[in-house]
A and B are shown apart, each in its own frame.
Chain A
Amino acid sequence: MAILIDQNTRMVIQGITGREAQMVVDHTLAYGTRIYAGVTPGKGGQNVLGVPVYDTVWEAVKKQNVNASLVVVPPAFALDAVLEAIDNGIKLIVVTTENIPQLDSVRMLYEARKKNVVIIGPNTVGIINPKDNVKMGSIGGDRPERCFVPGNVGVISRSGGMTAETSWMVKRAGFGVTTSVGIGGDSFIGSTIKDLLALFEEDEETKAVVTFSEPGTSFEEDAAQFLKEGGFTKPLISYVAGRFTESMPEGTVFGHAGAMISGNTGRPSLKMKALQDAGAHVIERYDDVISVLKTVLGERVGGVK
């Protein structure tokens, strides 16, 4: 088991003929993930490494019965692409595009909420489920197995690069992941930490979750509240990067667009406290992921492999 994607995922890539998408297609197929269709307006009838290209999502759904979309289009076209996917009944949309205008993001997320569609991103590296060799996005690059091996830990990261690094720390500790998710570096994203914790709670194979966080937003505070309400009962190991930013003048953004501190909102120290008070294992040093995982998981999965 995993969350969000598995062997039943039938992926379409919107924007498949673009420069960005070519590499993703290449790496994804090499990993063993099947891509059922691509969509680029005006390029219907072509194929990319054997993947059939259609002009519309409607046609991709009709011909290939796709049920999940990876959006790899430039910022100016992202809103339209997501609305097209939603309108055609796609229930999982992974939006990789960076620098989407905020109003467009807000509109696509609003429409998705209304139609009960799960959005990962925007500005996400993607999702990976190593047990089924299924990935959506550039996650893992040319060698996904380097960082992502099957196991019992869920990984949620606000940073794309740190999704890989954190999953590698899990591997270094002697474990592997059920699913690793980069949730996207923007302020306005679809699925937040809390939403994914709810999915990991339901997933029997997931025995613990590791999160990598940054300054800005209230995702960690919301997750802490969710823990307090009993929504997530498995061990949660959390690291919040960027504590140095608290001593910088307010309004300064280091890292991703969402990493802005304003007043008390977004301060790493307050995020850490909220998570700690809610019962999470909040680690001071990132390397402690390894020892804490061994401690909390050692017994549950029958000792360190």
Chain B
Amino acid sequence: MGRMLENASKKLLKENGIPAPNHWVIHKSDEIQALHLKKPCVLKALVPVGKRGKAGAIKFADSVQEAQEKTEELLKMTVRNYEVNRVLLEEKLEIAEEWYVSITIDPKKQMPVIIATTEGGVEVEDLVKEAPEKVVIYHVEPFSKLYSYQAKEIWSKLGVTGKPLIQATSVLCGLYDIFLKYDCYILEINPLVLTKDQQVMAAASVMGIDDSALFRQPELAGQVESGSERSWRPLTELEKAMVRVNDADYRGTARYTEMDGGSIGFMCGGGGGSLLSFDALTFLGAQPANYTETGGNPSEEKVYGLTKGILSKEGVKGLFVAHNITNNTQIDVMARGIVKAVQELGVNLDEFPIVVREAGVNDEEGKREFESAGITYYGEEVTIEQAAAEMVKKMEGVI
């Protein structure tokens, strides 16, 4: 899943006929000139996270000087771990009413769902609980577009009438087209503004693209941070290096997430097997230095690159290698990649414990590879939790 920055989503909205305020991307405060301030403006930190208002990352200005000062302030901020490097400058709308609309996929009903309200400035989740009559929740048949009459009904039920009803209907149909056209997993307009001159405009937009669908969205190339929803902060240098290791070869997957601190290098596999292995270590009070997930029969090069990365993190004093019994991942290939990395880095196994629990395809050969390198190997006769306990015991000698 990947978010788009607001300047990119606004551009797409406008290209597809959704009214939105004029906007500019500002890198330095002195770029702001009189032409930007024909009207009062809004300044927003351009970062891929929500709830920027609460974080103080949205400001208002009436003059060039004020806009420059506030831009300076924003450029010094870090919003939920993201440094602010750019600011979105927008014309401030003359607001009569603030509304809300979002389109997502309802996980329970497995259908696209539109959530709309004309109550502005509130958390819609709270409103659904406290005043459900003020919110319309509308499911759309997945093979269909949104028809005008459906959009009209949604707004009419919320009390919208007259010219704004016609406008809001057209905007919502347009938004739904965009949701389908660009394979969004979320398209949220908050607020959707009714201006004093009766225009319906998208004042702020959140657009997230399903990265599984990027293959059919060439237009969005480079605009979506693929996998940005997997992390709570920008990728670290080591994480970026591991993405390159993964991308270098189509065979198998290798995901790496760096933890704060930790002493055990974590080289585990299988989506569920990795979760279980990490739980097993932390349950025993140990601290893994990273989270890893390999699988899908990775190549020796990929396993080697990943292992090297895991071992390169400062403070790592041991390595835990575990996997659920594999259906297709070849244990001998895993073994060769891991052994190569360990030997190349000159790891002294007397001071740096390594415990392996790998079973499945070609595990007899894998066992030979690990054992001939002097590495403690367990197969299916030992459970993942038992192997984790062995790892923690061995670590007591080195921390």
Contact = CB atoms under 8 A, between A and B. Distances in A.
A229 to B, nearest CB: 17
A301 B232 CA distance: 49
Nearest to B217: A101
A243 B323 CA distance: 18
Instruction: Pick from A147, A160, A169, A188 the residue with the most CB of B within 10 Å.
Output: A160
17 contacts: A103-B183, A103-B213, A138-B327, A141-B326, A146-B380, A159-B271, A160-B271, A161-B270, A164-B360, A169-B383, A214-B271, A244-B279, A250-B232, A253-B229, A254-B274, A254-B278, A255-B271
B275 A241 contact: yes
A158 B384 CA distance: 18
Given A103-B180, A161-B271, A253-B1, 15 more contacts: A75-B212, A102-B105, A102-B183, A106-B111, A107-B143, A110-B111, A139-B327, A164-B327, A168-B380, A242-B279, A244-B282, A252-B232, A255-B274, A259-B275, A286-B384
A100 B183 CA distance: 11
Nearest to B184: A103
Contacts of B142: 103, 106-107, 110
A143 B327 CA distance: 9
B337 interface: no
Contact of A141 (B278, B295, B323, B327): B327
B236 interface: no
Interface in A42-85: 75-76
Interface residues of A, number: 61
B291 A106 contact: no
A217 B107 contact: yes
Contacts of B24: none
Interface in B18-37: none
A249 interface: yes
Contacts of B271: 159-161, 185, 214, 255-256, 259
A100 B233 CA distance: 26
Contacts of B1: 253
B105 A146 contact: no
B71 interface: no
A294 to B, nearest CB: 15
Given A164-B324, A164-B327, A255-B274, A241 B279 contact: yes
Q: Most chain-A CB neighbours within 10 Å: which of B324, B327, B360?
A: B327
Contact of B110 (A109, A138, A160): A109
A161 B272 contact: yes
Interface in B195-246: 210, 212-213, 215-216, 229-233
A212 B276 CA distance: 10
B270 A162 contact: yes
B379 to A, nearest CB: 11
Given A75-B212, A103-B183, A110-B110, A165 B327 contact: no
A98 to B, nearest CB: 8
Interface string A135-172: 00011111100110000000001111110110011000
Interface string B291-311: 101010000000000000000
Contact of B216 (A76, A102, A185): A76
Nearest to B255: A254
Given A106-B110, A159-B271, A146 B325 contact: yes
B361 interface: yes
B108 A218 contact: yes
A96 to B, nearest CB: 11
Given A106-B105, A249-B232, A286-B280, A160 B270 contact: yes
B385 interface: yes
Interface in B89-136: 105, 107-108, 110-112, 125
A270 interface: no
Contacts of A243: 279
B213 A214 contact: no
A168 to B, nearest CB: 6
Given A109-B110, A160-B270, A185-B271, A287 B386 contact: yes
Contacts of B111: 106, 110
Contacts of B280: 285-286
Contact of A254 (B275, B324, B326): B275
A299 to B, nearest CB: 25
B230 A253 contact: yes
Q: Across chains A and B, which 10 residue pairs bring their CB atoms closest together, nearest first?
A: A159-B272, A161-B270, A249-B232, A161-B324, A101-B213, A162-B272, A241-B275, A165-B324, A242-B275, A255-B271
Contacts of A162: 270, 272-273, 276, 324
B31 to A, nearest CB: 32
Nearest to A76: B215
Q: Which among A100, A146, A218 has the greatest number of chain B C-beta atoms within 10 A? A: A146
Nearest to A107: B142
A176 to B, nearest CB: 15
A93 interface: no
A68 B90 CA distance: 56
Interface string A11-37: 000000000000100000000000000
A214 B324 CA distance: 14
A253 B323 CA distance: 19
B378 interface: no
A3 interface: no
Contacts of B233: 249
A133 interface: no
B328 interface: yes
B180 A255 contact: no
Interface string B261-287: 000000001111111101110110000
Nearest to A250: B232
Interface in A113-128: 125
A61 B229 CA distance: 42
A187 interface: yes
